[in-house]
Structure 1
Amino acid sequence: MALDIQRFIQRFIEEALDHLGRMAEGIAALERDRANTERINELFRSAHTMKGSSRMLKLTPITATAHSLEELLSALREGQQSAGPEIIGLLYQGMDALSDLVGLLADGSAPEALPAANPALCQALEAAASGQDNPCASSTPLPADVSTATLSPTAEPSPTATPAAEEPGEMRLNDSVRVRLERLDEVIRLMGEVLSGHTHMHHLAGWARRFAGNTQAPDQSELAAFSRELREGVLTQEALMVELHDRALQMRMLPLNIVFDPLSRLARDMARSLGKQVDCRVRGSEIELDRQMIDHLSDPLVHLLRNALDHGIEPPEVRLAAGKPARGQLTLEAWQDGGWVMIEVSDDGAGIALAALREKALHKQLLSREQLDALSERETQELIFRPGFSTSALITDFSGRGVGMDVVKRSVVDTLSGDLQLTSRPGQGTCFTLRLPLSLAMMRVLLFQAGGLTLGVTAQYVVELVELPASRFIATAGGWALTLYNEFIPVIALAELLGLPSTAVATSDAPSEARDPGRLLLVVHQGHEKLALIIDALVEEGDRVIKPLPKHLRSLPLISGMVTHQRNDLVSLLHVPALLERMRQTSMPSTQKAPSTRAHRVLVVDDSLNTREIEKDVLEAWGYHVTLAENGEDGLQKALAESFDAILTDVEMPRMDGFALTARLREEHAYRHCPIIIITSREKETDRRRGLDVGADAYIVKGSFDQNILVDTLKALLG
């Protein structure tokens, strides 16, 4: 009877993913300790198992790739080869090829539809195993004939394409999760106990009905016994329900290696595309998070990796000149801290240049010189989280549009209900620390009353609840404040901030010695920023199931979710970061300049009529006023005759090319700081550098042109 391999494909995929995860950890460990024979043995066993399993199922491309990888690992195990950088690179490429093929299977591809094994890769692996010269063992990755794997983010930089063309993708996780048998057994056991307790509650209900039907006064001893039984039954049932909920949540917990392993692969590919040498180290990938958290964690981590590789870690020659090793160090580390998971993304790169941050903020008119001088070092560093902010001297398709770090903070704070901290030292590196709850399904919640309503906040935003006399408040230009533990904290009545009728003494009432009632203050924070909210009364604190807002309410920025209270009353949870933002807007000086509503004027210079018209249609659809010029000389004349807010130019044009036009415009006072964007088919790095040298603010390659790229770039430059 013929073997029905379809029955075994899913099991093979699950086992292969486990082996690939162990291989990723093993190669990373081997990279740090090249003489680790046990790691080599583990890698060999994984490759050998995948080869045998795939051969039984007639998965020929996987068999061939695993066989070639096994040959190289055999040579390492027998001491015929040493794990130098070239060999490590080949091991990574072999593992990546297997990941791609397994990913295609997981996406539903039929076994016979798998592409053939990459012959160049197999040849390179076997040549390295036999000690022959390997023409493919350079830092340039081998060509691949397979698509991106399910294991990796859906968008990775191609080694041959412009790195800018890729956007950070989402992790594509399967709809199912694997649950350890002991966890499932524990849930089934608890369900049995809950059902048993439910039977006991029915018995108590019958007892109560007998009391109700008895016309005579119940015996006091019997009533006391009933009361005791009811109390104990409720407490037992409550404990069982809490434990059952906890066990059920654990069934959704997944290890962080689901995110970390693909990211380490992505980091290597990004580094190669940028011409940098980077070791990516992963620690704590066994820490578990709720599946819902992992689903949303990929994007912010990809952005942080891009930031570290593009802005942080320097090119090898720069690092050597600074006395550093040529290879940079990038670390992904996780650990558990009570009911929280901490994730650090750190590098040993150049760090954040505070002077460059201040100049960029001043140039984009985000803050005045006086406001910048008043910022602390930490506040200056956190300018990078502002939308549209970037320190890149040149905007490319890869980075520099300022649409990354604000996304990170928004995802971590708003979507994941976490916190994000930044530390950086010039010349020594940068570290981003994410503090995340284990799960978003149930969280600690503080309920209170303000303005006649019952409201709540989740515990991660609460510093403390304290009652202080009004005489402790200090009058400031923006309102009231107090000093608490040597910190200066703004104070405002929550009802006043939300526009609700206040039943407490408002902060606008100046405190006096004769009338100095105590105020109940809820001190909240987000990062290093704190705010003291005057509330009416504390209701209660406890673990609550967080209910998402219905679709028609999700646009409310101040509300993050809802919980039930008492008899299924719905209580709104306040979003503390939005409260802090509203407080900042409330205290903002009224003399601040209002944003201009005038349509920006853009000059488009290109010798191709079709290109000019495409760019004109795109920009006018977004509200820009566009003027066209057919070559560099025509563009220069129009720029000198009129005033423009931004200029888009091609490079290859008659009479005057785009480089010369850009350089000439920078000589004019009116265009010294005007955004100039080069849009060209030239994609060589030397051309990009030349664009930067003549003063361009952005460089977009026509081959990867996307109207969103152009519009986002203009928005970032015009502010």
Structure 2
Amino acid sequence: MALDIRRFIQRFIEEAADHLPHLRGGVEALEQGDTNPERVNELFRAAHTLKGSSRMLKLVPIATVAHSTEELLSALRDGTQTATPNVISLLHQAIDALAGLVNLLAQGTPPAELPDTDLELCQALESAAAGVPPPSSTMPSAPGDSSFETGTSISPAPETTAKHPPSVENKPPLNELRLSDTVRVRLDRLDDVIRLMGEVLSGHHHLHTLVEHAHLLGSLLPAEQQAPITAFSRELKDSVLAHDALMSDLHDRALQMRMLPLSVVFDPLAQMVRDLGLSLGKQVNCRVVGSEIELDRQMIDHLSDPLIHLLRNALDHGLETPEERQASGKPPRGQLTLEAWQDGGWVVIEMRDDGAGIAVDTVRQKAVAKSLLSEEQLLTLSDQETLELIFLPGFSTKTMITDLSGRGVGMDVVKRTVVDELSGDLHISSEEGKGTTFTLRMPLSLAMMRVLLVQVGQITLGVTAPYVAELVERSPSNFIDAAGQTTLILRNEFVPVLSLADLLELPKTEHPADDVLLLVVHQRHQKLALIVDALVDERDMVIKPLPSHLRHQPLVSGMVSHGRNSLVSLLHVPALLERSRRKTQLDSATAHSNASHTHRILVVDDSLNTREIVKDVLEAWGYQVTLAENGRDGLNKALAEPFDAVLTDVEMPIMDGFALTASLRENDLYRHKPIIIITSREKEVDRRRGIEVGADAYIVKGSFDQNNLVDTLKALLG
């Protein structure tokens, strides 16, 4: 049965009500001389999203104007056009036209009855994009001459639409009237309720502090005066505890009122797959699983754009034509699956196709061609890290730009939305010839999350629990130096150690010589151990968005209330990890190179931290390093190009270090090349096995010393 897209018109109206003011404000900023490239990028993405959403709902006049607007913004982004008065005027007229059309939808006009596309305006926009002045006959009329009323304000759609009010005679008898089991509540009012409930919950938690103070006060009084204070303290504690569950349950119920099923997003996407598949000449089955899973409305609102971008790329880039599929032994009809499931307090969404997959070599070539990375930098990336280059702004493997893809927009939006805005995680896996899978992992809600509060000097900072790996105490004597980077070996993994105060450029606290407290944060495979002064608190807290004047701060993702009237900044861990990477790279670049070696070394380890640290050590001594993330990846790279030596871990997925070493020794090229095993396995039986499979040296991570590694490598390379 065909999908009734009328159900999703209201969501499009709400989405457009967000994008149109941003478009207008951005164009006004351009008019004032703001040439920030990111602003033009934001305008381009907004037009791109409006075009995709309106096309999906067959809103042809809106999609056509949005596409022509996107063309002109693309020219501004690429630098082939500048923000001249004529260009600014055209953009204003385009936004007026879009706002007018959306306003008609909001007032109840059926999509089929929207005014015809303003072809003169579209031609003027596309001529300006191409740098060709349009003939005077095709210049668009002033906005005020439009046949429909324009404006940026979007009126809410009425619950029912009718040309004539119902007559009294047509009304049902009173005894047939039924009260609905639902009521319509404006979203902003519901948001206010949830915000106020969060404030009440934070204030209620402060009562626990008062209980502790009352108990402490009672213990300081003389024995004969303690009885009344102790009784008051006990009654206060009982009252607070009795209300704890009630307050928490009340807040949970308020949040549940804002939950929506994923079908709100999934259903129109399934229709989009069918329509775009036909337009591209591709046969596609779309399978949707888990659409009943519920997410906070805040999450749903942000989720539509990244899923649309992923789907369009899967159809245009990934899935082949029926002829191409049959030639490669596949059924002519492709399969695209959109699946969701709940994992504790998280929702996982997976989009997978059985298409051509992503060619890693093509990604490398495009990255070099677009000057995103140098050839030397690419050599240090594993296949997985190379795949993730597609999330860089402006990256596209498409050889031809179309209205669907190839413009370098979309994947950077996906990553920014999922990771930065939704505090989630994004993973890509692809096998050439077999297909690609994108996995999005996100919290159920951003309104309340588990938060750890830590003390750094005189400042309290917070980190949301999804980014926290563990909290440990270690003596500085356990730290090792790796290419100038302080490092901790934590369960067979090298974890860089940095002072959080140093990283944030805060006043530093001197730590005693005994154990220090380490907050280990992570994002997927990357970890960082941050030295903090103390753990202040750990509990579920209401997340407050940053005020508008602070939203440009990359290291802060939000705020929480603590104590009576204090606000605590939440650290944005992905940005923190990026800053630590830049700091490490800068330190490595300034490190003294003690030799001029040009030997090429392959480092194989499934831990990103370990790979990067060993790479820094070797590059500081002048070696050229290539990284691999497991034994199979290492074997493929070793056979693809020659290396002077191989360093490998033992415990890795797919193929371990012993199997890798044995396989390399069977190849003539590596029969006599140095192979060094670096592992946490220190039993004699493991050492013997390493020797049996052909390793030249066996270094235990627990006693890792960079000079020992370099000296061993020097001796083996002669």
User: TM-score band (shorter)?
Assistant: 0.5 to 0.7
Q: CA-to-partner distance for each residue in 1:413-468, whole Å, 9 max, x for gaps?
A: 11111111111112111111111111111111110011431101111111111112
Q: Aligned partners of 2:265 and 2:531: how far apart in 1? A: 41
Change (3 A) 1:392 1:591: farther
Change (3 A) 1:329 1:15: closer
Q: Aligned partners of 1:335 and 1:578: how far apart in 2? A: 28
Q: Give yes or no for the alignment of 1:532 onto 2:529.
A: yes
For residue 318 of structure 2, what is the aligned residue in structure 1? 312
Change (3 A) 1:531 1:363: same
Q: How does 1:53-68 map to 2 (within 5 A)?
A: none
Q: Give yes or no for the alignment of 1:228 onto 2:225.
A: no
- Work out whether residues 484 and 587 of structure 2, in 8 Å CA contact, stay in contact via their aligned partners in 1: no
What is the identity, as a one-letter code, of the residue corresponding to 1:369? E
Which of 534, 553, 562 is matched with 1:556 structurally? 553
- Work out whether residues 486 and 496 of structure 2, in 8 Å CA contact, stay in contact via their aligned partners in 1: yes
Q: Aligned partners of 1:273 and 1:110: how far apart in 2? A: 29
Q: Give yes or no for the alignment of 1:244 onto 2:241.
A: no
Q: Aligned partners of 2:483 and 2:181: how far apart in 1? A: 60
For residue 474 of structure 1, what is the aligned residue in structure 2? 480
Q: Aligned partners of 2:501 and 2:158: how far apart in 1? A: 45
Q: Give yes or no for the alignment of 1:338 onto 2:332.
A: no
For residue 428 of structure 2, what is the aligned residue in structure 1? 422
- Work out whether residues 254 and 289 of structure 1, in 8 Å CA contact, stay in contact via their aligned partners in 2: yes
**Displacement after TM superposition at 1:96 (Å):** 7.5
Q: Give yes or no for the alignment of 1:403 onto 2:409.
A: yes
Q: Aligned partners of 1:590 and 1:470: how far apart in 2? A: 20
What is the identity, as a one-letter code, of the residue corresponding to 2:270? S
Q: Aligned partners of 1:147 and 1:459: how far apart in 2? A: 52
For residue 81 of structure 1, what is the aligned residue in structure 2? none
Q: CA-to-partner distance for each residue in 1:346-379, whole Å, 9 max, x for gaps?
A: 1111111111112222233333333322222211
What is the identity, as a one-letter code, of the residue corresponding to 2:235? E
What is the identity, as a one-letter code, of the residue corresponding to 2:528? L
For residue 519 of structure 1, what is the aligned residue in structure 2? 516
- Work out whether residues 179 and 251 of structure 1, in 8 Å CA contact, stay in contact via their aligned partners in 2: no
**Displacement after TM superposition at 1:487 (Å):** 2.2
**Displacement after TM superposition at 1:16 (Å):** 7.9
Q: Aligned partners of 1:422 and 1:173: how far apart in 2? A: 40
- Work out whether residues 456 and 571 of structure 1, in 8 Å CA contact, stay in contact via their aligned partners in 2: yes
Q: Give yes or no for the alignment of 1:565 onto 2:571.
A: no
For residue 375 of structure 2, what is the aligned residue in structure 1? 369
Q: For 1:230, what is the secondary structure of its paired residue? A: helix
- Work out whether residues 470 and 521 of structure 2, in 8 Å CA contact, stay in contact via their aligned partners in 1: yes
Q: Which runs of 5+ in 2 are unaligned?
A: 12-55, 62-100, 118-125, 131-153, 160-178, 186-192, 591-718
Q: For 2:407, what is the secondary structure of its paired residue? A: coil
Q: Aligned partners of 2:287 and 2:104: how far apart in 1? A: 27
Q: Aligned partners of 2:299 and 2:180: how far apart in 1? A: 17
Q: For 2:529, what is the secondary structure of its paired residue? A: strand
Q: For 1:581, what is the secondary structure of its paired residue? A: helix
What is the identity, as a one-letter code, of the residue corresponding to 2:374? S
- Work out whether residues 104 and 114 of structure 1, in 8 Å CA contact, stay in contact via their aligned partners in 2: no
Q: Give yes or no for the alignment of 1:543 onto 2:549.
A: no
For residue 577 of structure 1, what is the aligned residue in structure 2? 574
Instruction: Compare 496-505 and 327-336 and name the one that shifted more.
Output: 496-505
For residue 497 of structure 2, what is the aligned residue in structure 1? 491
- Work out whether residues 481 and 487 of structure 2, in 8 Å CA contact, stay in contact via their aligned partners in 1: yes
Change (3 A) 1:368 1:257: same
Q: Give yes or no for the alignment of 1:273 onto 2:279.
A: yes
Q: Aligned partners of 2:155 and 2:272: how far apart in 1? A: 16
Q: CA-to-partner distance for each residue in 1:158-181, whole Å, 9 max, x for gaps?
A: xxx9xx99xxxxxx9979999976
- Work out whether residues 108 and 157 of structure 2, in 8 Å CA contact, stay in contact via their aligned partners in 1: no
Q: CA-to-partner distance for each residue in 1:18-75, whole Å, 9 max, x for gaps?
A: 9x99xxxxxxxxxxxxxxxxxxxxxxxxxxxxxxxxxxxxxxxxxxxxxxxxxxxxxx
TM-score by length of 1: 0.53
Change (3 A) 1:256 1:390: same
Q: Which runs of 5+ in 1 are unaligned?
A: 1-13, 22-94, 117-144, 149-160, 166-171, 506-514, 594-719
Q: Give yes or no for the alignment of 1:360 onto 2:362.
A: no
- Work out whether residues 173 and 295 of structure 1, in 8 Å CA contact, stay in contact via their aligned partners in 2: no
What is the identity, as a one-letter code, of the residue corresponding to 1:587? T
Change (3 A) 1:365 1:351: same
Percent identical: 62
Q: CA-to-partner distance for each residue in 1:281-338, whole Å, 9 max, x for gaps?
A: 1110000001111111111111111121111111111111111111111111111111
Change (3 A) 1:534 1:319: same
Q: CA-to-partner distance for each residue in 1:165-223, whole Å, 9 max, x for gaps?
A: 9xxxxxx9979999976999xx99xx9xx9xxx9xx9xx99xx9xxx9xxx99986665
Change (3 A) 1:231 1:590: closer
Q: CA-to-partner distance for each residue in 1:580-627, whole Å, 9 max, x for gaps?
A: 11112212247989xxxxxxxxxxxxxxxxxxxxxxxxxxxxxxxxxx
For residue 289 of structure 1, what is the aligned residue in structure 2? 295
Q: Aligned partners of 2:155 and 2:268: how far apart in 1? A: 12
Change (3 A) 1:271 1:15: closer
Which of 587, 590, 595 is matched with 2:584 structurally? 587
For residue 642 of structure 2, what is the aligned residue in structure 1? none
Q: Aligned partners of 1:183 and 1:427: how far apart in 2? A: 49
What is the identity, as a one-letter code, of the residue corresponding to 2:249? E
**Displacement after TM superposition at 1:225 (Å):** 4.1
For residue 460 of structure 2, what is the aligned residue in structure 1? 454
What is the identity, as a one-letter code, of the residue corresponding to 1:579? L
Q: Aligned partners of 1:284 and 1:99: how far apart in 2? A: 31
**Number of residues paired by the alignment?**
428
**Displacement after TM superposition at 1:251 (Å):** 0.5
Q: Give yes or no for the alignment of 1:347 onto 2:353.
A: yes
Q: For 1:586, what is the secondary structure of its paired residue? A: helix
Q: For 2:585, what is the secondary structure of its paired residue? A: coil
